[in-house]
Amino acid sequence: MSFKTILAGTALAFSTLAAGSAWAETIGFSQVGSEGDWRPAFSANMQNEAATYGIDLKFADAQGKQEEQLRAVRAFIAQGVDAIIIAPVVVTGWDQVLQEAKDANIPVFLVDRDVDVADKSLYVTRISADFNLEGKIAGAWLAQASLGNCKIVELQGTTGSAPAIERNAGFQAIIDQFPNMEIVQTQSGDFTTEGGKKVMEAFIKSTNNLEGICASFAHNDNMQLGAIQAMKEAGLNPGTDIKMVSVDYVPAMADALAAGEANASVELRSAVAEYIYPVILDYLKAPSDLPKWIVIPSDLHVAN
Amino acid sequence: MMVADVLRPRGAGLPRLRDTRAVWPVLALIAILVFDWVMVPNFFQIRVVEGRLFGNVIDILYRATPTALVSLGMALVIGTKGIDLSVGSTIAIVGAVISWRIHAGDPHIVILFEALAVAVVCGIWNGSLVAGLGIQPIIATLILMVSGRGIGLLINLLYGGTDPSFDSPLLQGLSTGHLWLIPTRLVVGAVLFVALWLVIRRTALGLFIEAVGGNAAAADLAGVNARRIIFVAYVLCGLLAGCAGVILTADTHTSDPVSVAMYIELDAILAVVIGGASLGGGRIYLGLTVIGALVIQALTTSILISGLRPEYNLIVKSVVVMIVLLLQSRNVRHHVTMLFQGRRR
Amino acid sequence: MTTGTPTAPLIEMREIRKAYPGVLALDDVSLDFYPGEVHALLGENGAGKSTMIKILTGALRRDAGAVLLAGKPTDFASTAAAQAMGISPVYQEVNLIPAMSVLKNLTLEKAPTRWGMVSWRGARAMAEAKLARLGLTLDIDKPVGSYSLAIQQLVAIARALDDTTRMLVLDEPTASLDASEVAALFDILRDLRARGIAIVFITHFLNQVYEISDRITVLRNGQRVGTGLVGEISRQDLITMMIGRELSEVEAVARVRDTAGGAPVMTAGGVGRKRTLAPFDLTLRAGEAVGLAGLLGSGRTELAKLLFGAIRRDSGTLTLGGTDIRATSPRHSLAHGVAFCPEDRKTEGLVGELTIRENIVLSMQAKQGWLRRVRYRDQLRIADDMIRALGIATPDGEKQVSQLSGGNQQKVVLARALASSPKVLILDEPTRGIDVGAHADILTLIRKLCDRGLALLVASSELDEIVATSDRVAVLRDRAMIGELVGAGITRDTIIGMIAGDDGG
């Protein structure tokens, strides 16, 4: 993990050296860290795409610590960057540093997670995907595919995490519209393949081979891939006997969709620079009142 | 006391069972299973699906196998008064190596040995730090614990690492396949257990580990090479973690260094403790350690099939574990007995 | 000073009964302790002394019987409860925390507090006062472990004493003290006695019993054999009461002396280590017992460990049966037929968690290597043989060794060394903390081993023991060997003379 960061850091240093300050805009980006698969891909996309938009991106990895992140933001302010992008580590404790940025006339854009500040004018807008919407899209697809008639087992993400709470809430909001749709079993698979497989094995036993179950909804693809393995080992046909819908659209899920072992996956984009940079550049050219949340669309991928 | 008396052998035979401590983990396991049986009437039902035995009980054995293997290694290390926090990282590295070598096109039987060799190297690393340099075990193994998953990610980068999943009939056969009706990993686990038991109890290694763990200075003066014994314990622990790593990696046929076998070191330590050993070292109970691993897995499985909301999982687990450990404590048992005796008067 | 008219007993213990699985440790024993007297408690290993004082100090619960404190029935739930009533124990094995400073060890339990925080100034004053009671001057900021065992013992006693102490219980307090330290301790005990404190004194040094005690109680096999004023019990009677054997028998064993030894088995030439022990020459012969005499700290233990390889030598040569031994480690020494029984059985001798059998076979197993395990059947046989031969008090070899009394533990250490079938046996303080009965057993055994052709080296702080057992004596002073005594030249006086610095011998 650290090696990746070093590589990325070195690449960044080189590009900055080579480019100098010939760029139109200088933007500071304070990233949470480099945990998981999605975030490093997100960071890499932001760094790679910066040049295309003529942006000199100053990237800072907070290594999961807020004090590190506050230091980075203050450094950006001191350098007098044109704009600051923050992927916040936590939601609270931002009032003061955002006020400092505002006093220095530097607009702040949030990506990914939200912040909790009394004065919403402290940042321009938040540009991110909507976990709740992802849950809704998955629910809507399933409602249509099952004609509103479906008993569901749910593989939750890590208990208490924002994606787990929101995807569950969005999904629930849709199926609540249909009297014959309900979640009959739900458990946490911790967002891992191993966890998804273990939980699905237990579901298979406790529901007598998924008798009467029409679908499996997983909060991410990894867990769903584990569930697919568990079903195949129990002699079931995922994708045919059971409708499989999940979130992320990782490469392995694309294969599973192609093989007909899964039915649908809502994409959580990591290539989001194309949604973020234009908003910022437009704002820098002509400041205007933007909505406080600009949602990055989530595409639904289904099996053929 | 009655149970203890029954378990006490006359004369030779099984000297380890003399202690009442054998009773509690077994009782805990039975209690959990009975609870499941009441909750899910067909809990003990076993059918044949896809040519192998299929049912909750099989599931518990099946899922407990990797944890049990890691726990057995942990039992040896704890026996020397040490601890190995790096077993999860060893598994992550083993998984990454398997995926890497499969993408590199090595014959799969060779990969099996490569994976185990890497695990042994991890054990040698820990053993060298603890026995060679005399670093405290918790610190020494923390190094690999922290760095191991990163090393796994690095290995995944060697072949691009975007899609670390693979297919391997041999390795998957060892993990998720079946021999006649029995899941292969149960057979693998049983064979490894017997082999380990022979190494520990049919040679003097077990006695030496217990002597070193009980009193290293005395063992040294009695002629036991304490440092070499400690080193061997860590290497065996690494090897057993490697075996668990092969099973876990082949189970999901993908390398996921960040999350594979997360917190398995804690489960393993817990299994050893439920099995009646003290973290102070000096005793190895191989059979009871396996029972400990089964208790943990039976508990996990019961929570999954109970339909309990996931928010309560960890609380329920910790409460049950606490009860088992309290029952184990001679002190608490003594006080509880006193309480009842007092009432009877 | 004997108590003239004892007013009323401070503590009365009435018909105390305590049973362990398979053993009745105390069988309706009654005892009383008066203020201002030193009461010596004597008895062999397993006689019940330790159990008695553990019940007295709240460390153990009795099964039956009553304890009266100043006439009122009491029931100490814990040692803390007993201490609150002014009963302070000092146990046989030093219970200090070696890595902590003297200051903290002395004040840990009852640290003076100020507004809920430990007042270190107060603690310091308290520690100084405690040491001053014993006339000790120590650097109280140094860790306890950096001082000798003797000083540690005194610190443990100092810790137990404070102004509220009504009774001091001392379990083998002099086991690791030299003569001047014992004298200092006795001065303190006399002072405490004059202040009306009841003192319970457990020891196996009969001289000390007669020097300090007012009354003596003898226990045997969990029963009280007798109690009497010190002037009324003769030495002969006392030993008879304790071991139920005639003294002459013990003495007879001691007086037997074999002829000079046979062929040299182990030869040390210029063996030494800087700052540990000056280079020395020593030859051990088959069938000969060599004694190592010297004061505490003179280098007895160091010499024994250098020969065994537990301390690495930096000079000299060591030959065993004619072959040079280069590598020095306990393992190599055992492989060459040298066995060693260390002085401190708790930290260096035994693995307390393991059973008697496992402890006994450990060395012979180490000698054979881990691959060739001694068969279980053989282990049982060897353990049984040793238990019988050495008279270890246990139903079988499956008892945890930590549950044995001190003397029996010492016998297990000895059994382990013997089970490795050594040609040379090195014993460091083989009778430390052991009562008369076991003492005689071990001395008898030493003679028997010599007769069978074993070369023996016995380091001991007890001159009588050395005089009784040795065919030859090496005398140490200030970490150097200063001379040897042979045959008839070995007497108390000659050895003391050499240690004192006369050029005699």
Q: What is the pLDDT of residues A49-66, one digit of tens each?
A: 898 888 899 998 887 788
Contacts of residue C382 in chain B, CB cutoff 8 Å? none
Residue A17 is predicted with a pLDDT of 42
In chain A, domain spans:
3-129+270-297, 131-267
**Mean pLDDT rounded to a whole number for chain C:** 80
Separation between Cα atoms, residue C321 and residue C455, nearest integer Å = 11
Q: CA dihedral defined by A133, A136, A142, A143, rounded to 10 degrees?
A: -140
Matching fold, domains A3-129+270-297 and A131-267: yes
Distance from CA of C365 to the nearest CA of B (A): 7
- Confidence grade of residue A2 (pLDDT, cut at 50, 70, 90): very low
Interface of B with A (CB under 8 A): 40, 42, 49-50, 54-56, 59, 63, 149-150, 153-154, 157, 162-163, 165, 176, 248, 251-254, 256, 258-262, 300-301, 304-305, 307, 309-311, 313
Residue B14 within any structural domain of the chain: no
pLDDT category at A247 given cuts 50, 70, 90 is: very high
| Separation of alpha carbons B236 and B263, rounded Å | 20
Mark whether A and C touch (3+ CB pairs within 8 Å).
Answer: no
- Residue B69's pLDDT is 96
**CB nearest to B211's CB, from C340, C362, C398:** C362
C-alpha A233/C-alpha B176 separation (Å) is 8
What tokens appear for B66 in the block?
């990797």
Q: Which residue has the higher pLDDT, C427 or C109?
A: C427
Q: Report the mean per-residue pLDDT for chain B.
A: 84
pLDDT digits (tens, 9 = 90+) for C258-268: 555 578 888 88
Which pLDDT does position C411 carry in this prediction?
Answer: 85
C351–B224: do the CB atoms touch at under 8 Å? no
CB C353 to CB B225 under 8 A?
A: no
Torsions phi, psi of A102, nearest 5? -65, -40
Kindly state whether B279 is in contact with chain C, defined as any CB-CB distance less than 8 angstroms: no
Q: Which of B259, B262, B299, B311 to mutate to test the interface with A (most CBs of A within 10 A)?
A: B259
> First vs last Cα of chain A: how many Å apart?
36
Q: Could you give the 3-state DSSP secondary structure of residue C215?
A: strand
- Chain C touching partners, 3 or more CB pairs below 8 A: B
Q: Is the pLDDT of residue C176 over 70?
A: no
Residue of B nearest to A199 (CA): B304
State residue C255's pLDDT score: 45
> What's the rounded Cα separation, in Å, for the pair A239 and A52?
40
* pLDDT over threshold 50, residue A174: yes
* Dist CA A104 CA B27 (whole Å): 68
Highest averaged pLDDT of the listed ranges B238-242, B326-330, C188-192: B238-242
How close does chain B come to C370, measured CA to CA in Å?
Answer: 5
Lowest mean pLDDT among A183-187, B157-161, C63-67, C188-192: B157-161
The closest alpha carbon to C292, from C467, C488, C478, belongs to C467
What pLDDT does residue C196 have?
86
- Asked if A194 has any chain B CB less than 8 Å from its own CB, the reply is yes
Size of interface B-C (CB pairs under 8 A): 93
DSSP A260: T
Q: Which residue has the higher pLDDT, B150 or C21?
A: B150
B262 contacts in A (CB within 8 Å)? 190, 192
Please indicate whether, in this complex, the C-beta atoms of A193 and B56 are within 8 angstroms of each other: no
Task: Please tell me the total count of domains within chain B.
Answer: 1
Q: B15 vs C362: CB contact, 8 Å cut-off?
A: no
The answer to whether the Cβ–Cβ distance between B260 and A192 falls below 8 Å is yes
Write out chain B residues lying below 8 Å of C372, CB-based: 203-204
The complex's ipTM works out to 0.80
Q: Which are the contacts of C117, defined by CB distance < 8 A and separation ≥ 6?
A: none
pLDDT in the model for residue A19: 43
Mean pLDDT for chain A overall = 86
d(CA A207, CA A184): 10
Q: Does C117 touch chain B (CB under 8 A)?
A: no
Residue of C333, C362, C400, C412 to mutate, interface with B, max B Cβ within 10 Å: C362
Decide if B233 touches C, using CB distance below 8 A.
no
pLDDT tier, A179 (very low <50, low <70, confident <90, very high otherwise): very high
| Distance of residue A42 Cα from the nearest chain B Cα, in angstroms | 14
Q: Domain range spanning residue B248?
A: 54-320
- Residue A52 buriedness (CB in 10 A; 0-12 / 13-18 / 19+): exposed
Assign 3-class secondary structure to chain B.
CHHHHHHCCCCCCCHHHHCHHHHHHHHHHHHHHHHHHHHCHHHHCCEEECCEEECHHHHHHHHHHHHHHHHHHHHHHHHCCCCCCCHHHHHHHHHHHHHHHHHHCCCHHHHHHHHHHHHHHHHHHHHHHHHHCCCCHHHHHHHHHHHHHHHHHHHHHCCCCCCCECCCHHHHHHHHCEECCEEHHHHHHHHHHHHHHHHHHCCCHHHHHHHHHHCHHHHHHCCCCHHHHHHHHHHHHHHHHHHHHHHHHHHHCECCCCCCCCCHHHHHHHHHHHCCCCCCCCCCCHHHHHHHHHHHHHHHHHHHHHCCCHHHHHHHHHHHHHHHHHHHCHHHHHHHHHHHHHHHC
Q: Are strands C113-114 and C117-118 parallel, antiparallel or unpaired?
A: antiparallel
- pLDDT tier at B125, thresholds 50, 70, 90: very high
Helical (H) or strand (E) element with A42 = helix A38-50
Cβ-defined contact of C353 to B210 (cutoff 8 Å): yes
**Would you say B221 and C330 are in contact if contact means Cβ atoms under 8 Å apart?**
yes
Nearest CA in chain B to C378: B12
Supply B24's token pair: 């509690």
Q: Calculate what percentage of chain A has a pLDDT beyond 70.
A: 91
Q: Is a pLDDT exceeding 90 seen at residue B194?
A: yes
- pLDDT category at B3 given cuts 50, 70, 90 is very low
pLDDT tens-digit map of B58-88: 888 988 999 999 999 999 999 999 999 999 9
Contact: A190, B157; criterion CB under 8 Å: no
Q: What pLDDT sits at residue A225?
A: 92
Tell me, yes or no, if B225 comes closer than 8 A to chain C by beta carbon: yes
Establish if A182 touches chain B: CB-CB under 8 angstroms. no
B and A touch with 3+ CB pairs <8 Å, answer yes
Distance from CA of B206 to the nearest CA of C (A): 9
Tell me: pLDDT of A73 over 60: yes
Contact between chains at B221 and C380 (C-beta distance less than 8 A):
no
> What pLDDT, in 10s, does the model give residues B21-69?
678 888 888 988 898 888 877 778 787 877 778 788 888 898 899 999 9
**C259-310 per-position pLDDT tens digit:** 555 788 888 888 888 878 889 999 888 888 888 887 666 788 889 999 898 8
* Amino acid identity at C142: K
Q: Cβ B219–C368 below 8 Å, yes or no?
A: no
Longest dimension (CA), chain C: 73
Interface membership of C416 toward B (CB under 8 Å): yes
The token duo for C137 is 């001057």
Identify the CATH homologous superfamily for domain A3-129+270-297.
Response regulator (3.40.50.2300)
Q: Which of C354, C363, C398 sits opposite B210 (nearest CB)?
A: C354
Neighbors of chain B by Cβ distance (3+ pairs < 8 Å): A, C
Q: Using CA atoms in the order C444, C450, C453, C455, what is the torsion angle rounded to 10 degrees?
A: 130
Confidence of residue C114 (pLDDT cuts 50, 70, 90): low
pLDDT computed for residue B11 by the predictor: 37
Binary contact (A191, B63; C-beta < 8 A): no
Q: Which of residues 326-355 of C touch B (CB under 8 A)?
A: 330-331, 333-335, 340, 342, 347-355
pLDDT at C115 exceeding the cut of 50: yes
Does B262 sit within 8 Å of A188, measured CB to CB?
no
**Strand A243-248 relative to strand A215-218, pairing:** parallel
Mean of the pLDDT values across residues C394-423? 85
Answer whether A1 sits within 8 Å of B309, measured CB to CB.
no
- Tens of pLDDT, residue by residue over A11-25, are 444 444 444 444 578
Alpha-carbon gap, residue C124 to C112, rounded angstroms:
9
In a domain, B21, yes or no: no
Alpha helix locations (H) across C110-205?
120-133, 149-160, 179-194
User: Within the 155-214 window of chain B, which residues sit less than 8 Å (CB to CB) from chain C?
Assistant: 202-205, 207-208, 210-211, 213-214
- Residue located via tokens 């590199």: B104
Query: Are the C-beta atoms of A34 and A25 separated by less than 8 Å?
Result: no
Q: Residue C474: enclosing H or E segment and its boundaries?
A: strand C472-477
Q: Closest Cα partner for A291 from A49, A120, A71?
A: A120
Chains sharing 3 or more CB pairs under 8 A with chain A: B
Give the bridge partners for B48, in sequence order. B53
C92 pLDDT higher than 80: no
pLDDT of residue C21: 62
Q: Does residue B79 fall inside a structural domain?
A: yes
Residue B46's nearest CA partner among B37, B35, B58, B38 is: B58
Looking up residue B237, the CATH number of its domain turns out to be: 1.10.3470
Q: Say if residues C38 and C193 touch (Cβ distance below 8 Å).
A: yes
Q: In the CATH scheme, what is the code of domain A131-267?
A: 3.40.50.2300
CB-CB under 8 Å, B49 with A234: yes
Nearest chain B Cα distance for residue C124, angstroms: 33
| Residues with Cβ within 8 Å of residue A227, at least 6 apart in sequence | A155, A189, A196, A197, A199, A200, A216, A218, A238, A244
Q: Rounded mean pLDDT of C309-323?
A: 86
Picking from C351, C368, C372, the nearest residue to B219 by CB comes out as: C351
Q: Which residue from A36, A190, A251 is facing B163, i.e. has the nearest CB?
A: A251
Specify the range with the lowest mean pLDDT, choosing from B287-301, C16-30, C53-67, C236-250.
C236-250
Residue with token string 């020097």? C211
Inform me whether the C-beta atom of residue A197 falls under 8 Å from chain B C-beta atoms.
Answer: yes
Percent above pLDDT 90 for chain C? 4
| Chain A residues lying within 8 Å of B251, measured CB to CB | 194, 197, 229
- Tell me the one-letter amino acid at B307: G
When CB atoms are compared, the residue of C353, C367, C369 closest to B282 is C353
Place of tokens 């406790």: A206
**Of C91 and C316, which is predicted with more confidence?**
C316
Q: How far is the alpha carbon of B16 from chain C, nearest alpha carbon, in Å?
A: 10
Number of residue pairs across A and B with CB atoms under 8 Å?
A: 87
Report pLDDT for C3. 46
Give the pLDDT confidence score for residue C296 in this predicted structure: 63
pLDDT, residue B90, reads 95
